[in-house]
A and B are shown apart, each in its own frame.
Chain A
């Protein structure tokens, strides 16, 4: 029905979007609009991106698929937000060894969390090497995770 407003998933909106046929028009979620964009440009490091939508960067990038006059500004905001937050993520992930990191990752969106984990893995691998454990052969993760379930029929 023409003129109705609906909420549909992104994949559906992408599929139905067609600049020639004009089946649907997309309204931006509020965090990508003017008001929030100025908040991000003021100070991006204090924003809780996890609460605002755990996929801020990914979803924002997908939004650029729809013809929207504000696209250049959205793209710019995404980039600048990422740049200003990245340094902090890199620092904290490389310096938090064997600690509870839940406070550090609480306000990160999913992309940032993946980066944080990559940093942590690098740190842990390095520490392992420093302790001389890098040459220790370990059981495969399959065995470690399923050690409780015995493999009695495993004869090697």
Chain B
């Protein structure tokens, strides 16, 4: 790698999509289909980046039959704290239905079930994302891989592009664009949950600097069951597991869904083991065909997970399988900032999940739906603007926020590795994040706010690490939005658990909007659509 300062690559596009997972790919394809010129940048490689590519994922695909749709919408309504909104659920079910058939027409090899027709309930990530990359290219979209965006550009009219760097060539880039879609995923805080180490909340930080708001950041306590050594997060398969203490006794009440908190409480004291001993031979075969990479970990270490007990832990998945994210203000997935759109896990998923999601399924449906709408909305927004849309004198927003973009040399500054460790120390422990309390959250926020001030003084890069100053700043900012929101919700709802307020409180049946960088703020807004569900359930 050359250390010489290179001249920036300068490009223009109607729509810039930041992030090349499913949401970004759908956004790019749809925007191009509207006649917009489109560039997609990915910090890794569009096709392998993100949580979807490495694994199999369920899809929230439901045939347009009234009863089936009704059941699908209501099945998780209570689990999500009644914060999901029916019109959004209906839109997503409709769009997902169409998008899945679109993928079939593009050549995705869906399995054939007993009906003799294709079954659309899941996709294999490597296959799906390889296909999506091909379609992005076929749509005429220019892809820049290994090209993280470092900051958004903006003028008085709104967002006008982004600037970043190619990590392999070290060449900076600047893209002037009439509209930007943020599809950078959630934030899993470098926990190595499968495929998530590119997901460090970069898009949240950029959106926050532009003045966008967040919603539901308190719903950020997702932890996945993994074999102790492994990155592979396939919590759903543990429905066929029994959980054991080290001495072989069964842990009462432990389970992959509602019983996960019992696993967490046990892990705080002692090791926990699992065995997939509830799966019969026929199911074992189906499980292998459904999740090839889940079994890689076991096969390579010569463990038979169906007969042998193996140690497990819970790996933090943050907002990737939480539901909070950038707040969207209309059906085009626009944010409150003109020209800025959000899709996929970067955006709030409360609209269809409320305060709980299991990963895959709803999130996958949301990615393809919100990606579609954001791409369409961004293209229309861009094409409405005149000839001068690329001559706007837009400036980088990090200058305004004071959050550094470049590393500093000074030895006295905190380094990226130290920031990562300090933030992880606040968000990983179950007794801080999963089981929250006013005392614990306030103490964490004190330390995180102090860290934020230190970051603004400048950060140096830890030797031998890829992780950049923007990524660690984004993680810190994300943790602060999470915990301020968690502090404001003085009840237990969805995945958000308060040990000091263990019950749901009907008076807090609202969404929490948050924002701000130096001064983080949180305010409630009424959940618009189903305001009376809570009361009806209580009656």
Q: Do A and B bind each other?
A: no
Chain A interface (Cβ < 8 Å from any Cβ of B): none
| B residues lining the A interface (CB < 8 Å) | none
